[in-house]
Amino acid sequence: MKPQARLADIQVTYDFICPWCWIGGEHLDRALAATDQSASRHITYMPYQLNPDMPAQGMDRKVYRSGKFGSWARSQAMDAQVTQAGRAVGLVFDYDRAERTPNTLAAHRLIWRQQQSGLAASGLVRAIFKAYFGQGRDIGDLQVLADIAGENGLDPALILSFLKSDEGRAQVLALDASAKTGEVRSVPHFQIGTESITGAQPAAIISHSLLAGERS
């Protein structure tokens, strides 16, 4: 009997400030479950800062979004659209609780550390998305990130010490720069073997790429 070929790894390029990345991640999870590949695909997360010049302490969300999109009313309309899309896949967005737009570099460093330690990062990625979009927590705050890590089985004191250092900073910035000079033009971006998917595409589309990789 011919041995089954190892399924290709999945690379997810994303940012924690991107609501469609959370929704796209849920679509990926559903596609993996539908194709019975949840346990057989290794997922690597690659950073892509949408707001690389955001101050380390973040900004008041209403001020930032009003300036970026022209008005607070337009920002709220966009939030409503995303909330509806999230609800369709069981994700709860609660923008009323989010007071700040965070700098996401520290959160990306935390995921980098998780992966460098050889640990699966998907659960922690989902927890950080939920903390910001669903609970309004400031994921740019180092203590908040350490708390989230603690809630997901890591040592919060050890994580806080890591976050206060510069470890991983240069590496994450290099990965971010590499993504932006490569083929990634927007996030979320999924690379499944030779198949590329951009945007929060439906689970059925992702499933097709997963099965294509399985047949190759």
Give the tens place of pLDDT for each residue, 2-19.
344 568 899 999 999 999
**What's the confidence (pLDDT) of residue 212?**
85
pLDDT tens digits, one per residue of 70-123: 999 999 999 999 999 999 999 999 999 999 999 999 999 999 999 999 999 999
Q: Which residue has the tokens 């011919």?
A: 2
Please tell me what DSSP assigns to residue 96. G
Ramachandran assignment for 173, one of left (phi > 0), alpha (psi -120 to 50 degrees), beta (any other): alpha
Q: Write out the CATH class of domain 10-215.
A: alpha beta
Give the span between the Cα atoms of 130 and 79, in whole angstroms.
15
Q: Which residue has the tokens 């180092």?
A: 142
Q: State yes or no: pLDDT of 135 exceeds 60.
A: yes
Nearest to 203 by CA among 20, 8, 29: 29
pLDDT tens digits, one per residue of 14-44: 999 999 999 999 999 999 999 999 988 999 9
Provide the whole-model pTM: 0.94
Q: Is 100 exposed, middle or buried (0-12, 13-18, 19+ CB in 10 A)?
A: buried
Whole-number mean pLDDT of the chain? 94
pLDDT tens digits, one per residue of 163-212: 999 999 999 999 999 999 998 999 999 999 889 999 999 999 999 999 98
